[in-house]
Structure 1
Amino acid sequence: MTQQGTPEHPPRRRLQPPGRASALVPLLLALVLAALVSAVAGGLVRAGALHPAPGWAGDWMGRAAISHGALMICGFMGTVIGMERAVAVKLKLAWLAPLASSMAALCLLQGAVAWAGALFAVAALAFVGVNLVVVWRQRAPHTLVLLLSALAWLVGCTTFLLRPTDPASVPWWFAFLVMTIAAERLEMTRLMRRRPGAQVALALVLVLMAAGAAAGAAYPRAGGVAFGLSLLLLAAWLGVFDIARRTVRSDGLARYMALCLLGGYAWLAVAGAAWAATALGLALRDVALHALGLGFIVSMMMGHAPVILPAIARIKLRFGNWFYGPLAALHLSLAVRLGLGLESPAWRSAGAVLNAASMALFGATMVAAALAWRRHASNATRR
């Protein structure tokens, strides 16, 4: 199904890693999985749902809890995005970015924070180089936004390298992911008639986002409000201009992807409001971080994984209605954590457990989809 394309992703030639770089893919996928499992375990510890016991496992969970954000954003998502971009540009050196970021995640889990910071910076710098190649090959608005996202990752990783305990790196890391998604959606708007001023409006929103992230270190209140406002405005832009408003009326994979996107845009608006409110002194930090990190970004990941994973892992997936199960579980878990959890730490912990369960369910769904494709192909061959 992924070979045929969808209204969200037009048909394109199957991409494969070049030469010996393909040998890195199984290793990188294993490291990505390790970073994800560690980040989720660390998140459960931070939410009070897991309590590390003495011993190596407890030490691992403790370090994972301390480095939860870096593991999830840079070690997991940064590596996945780096792999996808390396496959797309077909350059062996492009694999330096995901290799460095995945090794940095291992360093974090060993407590070698300085080494991790250096490797994250190397990964981000290499990723900037990859995106310069992308811009050189295709100068377009969405490729320029991709380059801007890579620069945001570099600023965040450099901040983390110089000041590992400074939260000023967090908005830059989130800007990296949000801008990456914005570039993808901007590219998809070419399938619709663009309204006058749409690109200019998006550019202004992204400039405000970068300004908010930059100002946050010296002026936390002003920077936080600006960053939150940029998220709100981006949610509005996506709601107005994104093609998902049309494809949600289709069926199959296109409809599933559109529902992932539209639900994510709603959580993006929640995150923007909560981020600004947190900067003004309200106790909504958990809402801001996880409405953005889980509600928006993971929802986007669930929507795009059926297209991106086959290109990276060289597998095929058979889409079915079972894909909606993890998506519904994710939104329900966020409602519990970020809604009921505001009144009760117990509900917050329960919501965190449900967050993890929804992601595990999605992983199981992807495995089942790959096996279903193999059975389908085998039956078709027999017939």
Structure 2
Amino acid sequence: MQNSRASQTLSRAVFLLPAGLAMLAGVNAALVLVGVSAPVRSERLGDLHGMLMVGGFLGTLIAMERAVALRHPLGYLAPGLLGLGALALISPAPVQLGQLLLVDGSIAFVAVYAALWRRNHDDVVVVELLGAVHLTVAALLWLRVDMPWLMPWLVGFLVLTICAERVELARLAMPTTGGRTLVLHAAALTVALVLTLVSAEAGARATGFVIASLVVWLVRHDVARRTIRTTGLPRFSAGALLGGYVWLLLAGLTWLVAGAQTEGALYDVVIHAVMLGFAISMVMAHAPIILPAVLKRPLPYRTAMWIPLVLMHVGLAVRIIAGDFAGLRTLWQVGSITNIVALLLFFAIAAGSSIAGVTPLKRKPL
């Protein structure tokens, strides 16, 4: 039994290796974009930063989780192709090869969700499927347009996927109409994103309104408002969740008030409030619950996990408030580097915690 479990862990880790490499390449690209020393000086990596982090890193992680849930060998095509796409992007191969592999991986990802939906017709899965469709649209758009123009679709992918996961994990605390409300928000967000293709301004404002509405609804019903007063993992997860909601609300309100952003300070605010403040904070919140189910290895909560979580939020606050809003470039760089340190530190602590090991945690509402 132990040999079988170890073999399963190793085989699944092979699929996650490209995600880890994509994250490291994305971090390197972030250093290039921030204008500080980076291990690899590459303008190409700087241009690929957004897709490496979303499609290559987060996309592969999420697709792997769903492939495990599907329990069918073909489900692993999605994380496999997304991972290969990330590897192609950071290799000397033509960028178009990586782009096409990401398109194929995104389509396979949609197919995984379609199969999951046929299994139980769950509202949460419908929303996650729409999120995968958003990723596919972003990958297709990337064949024709620059990254800033497809960024709203990447935001849509992360928002729908993570919010659906949140509803699934905290289902007992949600109202009976929670699934329907989530689907309505997902449909409205999809319509708003389609509108961005016709009118960037109107679409961005509509997208911001839907995101803000979704955040308010989630915060109102999320059990994290109660578990923040407990201890241990529930409190840590609640802190990460509530902090993530704050940053997502800021991004939504920025789009709602300022309209479409493709460059400059407000673009930086929206993108990193979502990608770092919301998405990475949610990864930290759920990692001790989800990763053990994927890798068949325990990931026990450690008090030290608070360090990268706090660093992430403090660094992002410095980056946005002092850097983007006040225009202080040095502090913007400090905040950006703090975010990178926080991300790497969390995965270092998580790896150490998993290696040390304890009894695996059970998946339960947080």
- The RMSD of aligned alpha carbons is 2.4
8 Å Cα contact 1:100-1:119 kept in structure 2: yes
- Determine which structure has more spread, i.e. the larger CA radius of gyration: 1
Is 1:179 the equivalent of 2:166? no
Is 1:241 the equivalent of 2:217? no
**Residue type at the aligned position of 1:102:** G
- 1:208 deviates by 2.6
SS in 2 for 1:315: coil
Tell me how far apart the structure 2 counterparts of residues 369 and 166 of structure 1 sit (CA, whole Å).
36
Is 1:204 the equivalent of 2:184? yes
My pick for the range that moved more, 277-286 or 361-370, is 277-286
SS in 1 for 2:121: coil
Tell me how far apart the structure 1 counterparts of residues 170 and 357 of structure 2 sit (CA, whole Å).
30
Tell me how far apart the structure 1 counterparts of residues 321 and 106 of structure 2 sit (CA, whole Å).
35
- 1:24 deviates by 4.1
Tell me how far apart the structure 1 counterparts of residues 270 and 330 of structure 2 sit (CA, whole Å).
19
Is 1:150 the equivalent of 2:132? yes
Equivalence for 1:347: 331
Tell me how far apart the structure 2 counterparts of residues 371 and 51 of structure 1 sit (CA, whole Å).
29
**Residue type at the aligned position of 1:179:** L
* Match for residue 302 of structure 1 among 260, 284, 294: 284
Indicate how the Cα distance of structure 1 residues 272 and 108 shifts in structure 2: closer, same or farther if over 3 A, else same.
Answer: same
Is 1:45 the equivalent of 2:32? yes
Is 1:35 the equivalent of 2:19? no
Equivalence for 1:254: 234
**Residue type at the aligned position of 2:138:** G
Tell me how far apart the structure 1 counterparts of residues 299 and 169 of structure 2 sit (CA, whole Å).
22
8 Å Cα contact 1:21-1:95 kept in structure 2: no
Tell me how far apart the structure 1 counterparts of residues 222 and 9 of structure 2 sit (CA, whole Å).
34
Equivalence for 1:225: 205
> CA offsets, 1:52-93, max 9 Å, x none?
8xxxx32xx322110000000000000001111111111111
8 Å Cα contact 1:107-1:115 kept in structure 2: yes
Equivalence for 1:73: 54
Equivalence for 1:25: 12
Q: Which runs of 5+ in 1 are unaligned?
A: 1-15, 378-383
SS in 2 for 1:363: helix
Is 1:128 the equivalent of 2:115? no
- 1:164 deviates by 4.6
**Residue type at the aligned position of 1:210:** T
8 Å Cα contact 1:21-1:92 kept in structure 2: no
* Match for residue 289 of structure 1 among 264, 271, 286: 271
**Residue type at the aligned position of 1:324:** W
Equivalence for 1:276: 256
> CA offsets, 1:293-317, max 9 Å, x none?
1000000000011112222222212
- 1:290 deviates by 0.3
Q: Which runs of 4+ in 1 moved over 6 A?
A: 19-22
TM-score, normalisation: structure 1: 0.85
My pick for the range that moved more, 247-256 or 216-225, is 247-256
SS in 2 for 1:194: coil
- 1:324 deviates by 0.9
8 Å Cα contact 2:126-2:183 kept in structure 1: no
8 Å Cα contact 1:35-1:106 kept in structure 2: yes
> CA offsets, 1:265-289, max 9 Å, x none?
0111111122334426784110100
Indicate how the Cα distance of structure 1 residues 215 and 146 shifts in structure 2: closer, same or farther if over 3 A, else same.
Answer: same
Tell me how far apart the structure 2 counterparts of residues 312 and 341 of structure 1 sit (CA, whole Å).
38
Equivalence for 1:381: none
Q: Which runs of 5+ in 2 are unaligned?
A: 361-366
Tell me how far apart the structure 2 counterparts of residues 191 and 26 of structure 1 sit (CA, whole Å).
31
Tell me how far apart the structure 2 counterparts of residues 82 and 253 of structure 1 sit (CA, whole Å).
25
SS in 1 for 2:291: helix
Tell me how far apart the structure 2 counterparts of residues 99 and 358 of structure 1 sit (CA, whole Å).
27
Is 1:95 the equivalent of 2:76? yes
Indicate how the Cα distance of structure 1 residues 278 and 241 shifts in structure 2: closer, same or farther if over 3 A, else same.
Answer: same
Equivalence for 1:312: 294
- 1:226 deviates by 1.1
Number of residue pairs matched by the alignment: 352
SS in 2 for 1:319: coil
8 Å Cα contact 2:16-2:60 kept in structure 1: no
* Match for residue 120 of structure 2 among 106, 116, 138: 138
Indicate how the Cα distance of structure 1 residues 39 and 290 shifts in structure 2: closer, same or farther if over 3 A, else same.
Answer: same
My pick for the range that moved more, 88-97 or 166-175, is 166-175
SS in 1 for 2:148: coil
Equivalence for 1:369: 353
Identity level (%): 34
Tell me how far apart the structure 1 counterparts of residues 174 and 191 of structure 2 sit (CA, whole Å).
30
Indicate how the Cα distance of structure 1 residues 330 and 307 shifts in structure 2: closer, same or farther if over 3 A, else same.
Answer: same
8 Å Cα contact 1:295-1:331 kept in structure 2: yes
**Residue type at the aligned position of 2:294:** I
